[in-house]
Amino acid sequence: MLPHVVVPSILAQFLIPEWRLTGANAGSLAGSYAAGYMLAVPFLATLTDRIDARIVLIAGSALSALATLMFGLFAEGLWSGAALWALAGIGFAGAYMPGLKALTDRLDPGDSSRAVTFYTSSFSLGVGLSFLVSQLVAESFGWRAAFYVTAAGPLAMMFVCLLLKPMTPTPSKGRLLNFGPVFQNRSAMGFILGYGAHCFELYGIRTWLVAFWTFVAAKGGGGTLLTPIAISFAFSILAMPSSVLGNEVALRVGRRRALTTIMFASAAVALLIGICADGSPWLLLPLILLYAITVPADSGALTAGMAMSANPENRGATMAVHSTVGFGFSALGAWAVGAALDAAGGPHVASAWLPAFGVLAAGILLGPVALAWSRTASANHQAIQK
């Protein structure tokens, strides 16, 4: 995870002024990682139904390290940067869902819900470290050095893979890229589409959080404890316990009910931040920290719901669709927030942040719609069968 948000971390301070990027350009550059991931994950995640996911994980980690290093060495503008960052996203496509498959293949069925939630929550810890390391290195040694240093992270993952016990998955029937059974699984598709709404909001705020707090700090003089580095790191670290607790609540009160409540709460907090964007950093700080809790609180419950709803013989294909939808919406979220900022005057204008956060709120509100559709469709299907 160490290279994961290097580009969003250095956008505001380094890449936007040096490469003269608009908001939409910057969002597209950051989103190219998710776009590369989206294009590759259907094949790579589904492949884990045929071969040991550990093998895919090793190859993906190697590509992630190489592409991150190449960005630091060769990226010179929007197009070269987007191409190399998309390549890094392809590498991550061979790491994240194949890593989850490697985990679930080695678990008893009863262990899956909490184990999947801890796995997805560790994603947030990795993002926090990525924000922290990349910004500290970039400020001390230049932005290219941030890519050299973070490229070491996937190399460590390769070493861990070598320690995993080899395992051959149960042979899967049918074509490799056979997603028909996944689309017919209404319960799983509800969680998958909800995950897409979650990713739209999550990647949108991750891409623009440093830029937003740079604006807040410059306007309000928030002091050393309110630097973009501190805020982005805290935002990511809070996501880990939030995701775990969100899943625990879902286990107790019902998954769809908990997810719907969380998503509505997150949309409300996003709108409140946009309304107060011109306020004091001390007013915005608790709102941002609250948003850091609401944004990821649905992540573990959505992914666990998908994994538990998937048919065992095509779990890899279900994970592939889950990731494809999620990271497709991630790329869209990063671009949409940047486009909203451009249309409203740019990230240095306080009034532009209301439509930006409004876009995030609108994105996450698609989640309850997807969950309601899934529940209604599943109920109708069961009634027809009876």
Task: Write out 363-386 in H/E/C secondary structure.
Answer: HHCHHHHHHHHHHHHHHHHHHHHC
DSSP letter for 110, please: G
What is the per-residue pLDDT for 303? 86
Q: 73: left (phi > 0), else alpha (psi -120 to 50), else beta?
A: alpha
Spell out the residues 6+ positions from residue 253 whose beta carbon is closer than 8 angstroms to its own. Answer: none
Work out the number of other CB atoms within 10 angstroms of the CB of residue 282: 11
pTM of the predicted structure, to 2 decimals: 0.84
Work out the number of other CB atoms within 10 angstroms of the CB of residue 175: 10
Tokens of 265: 């709460």
Q: Residues 80, 27: contact at Cβ < 8 Å? A: no
Q: Is the pLDDT of residue 243 over 80?
A: yes
What is the per-residue pLDDT for 304? 85
What is the per-residue pLDDT for 386? 45
What is the per-residue pLDDT for 106? 81
CATH 3.40.50.10320, applies to 6-164+181-385: no
Which sequence spans correspond to the domains of the chain?
A: 6-164+181-385
Cα(213)–Cα(118) distance, rounded to whole angstroms? 29
What is the per-residue pLDDT for 194? 96
Q: Is the pLDDT of residue 187 over 60?
A: yes
Question: Strand, coil or helix: what is 65?
Answer: helix
Rounded to the nearest 10 degrees, what angle do helices 255-275 and 186-220 cross at?
20
**pLDDT tens string 104-126:** 888 876 666 677 777 877 888 89
What is the per-residue pLDDT for 385? 42
Buried-state track 235-250, b at ≥16 Cβ within 10 A, e below 16: bbbbbbebbbbbbbbb
Q: Which amino acid is at 89?
A: G
Cα(39)–Cα(327) distance, rounded to whole angstroms? 9
Sorting pLDDT into bands at 50, 70 and 90, what band is 135?
Answer: very high
**pLDDT tens string 35-51:** 999 999 888 888 888 88
CA angle 279, 270, 235 (to 5 degrees): 85
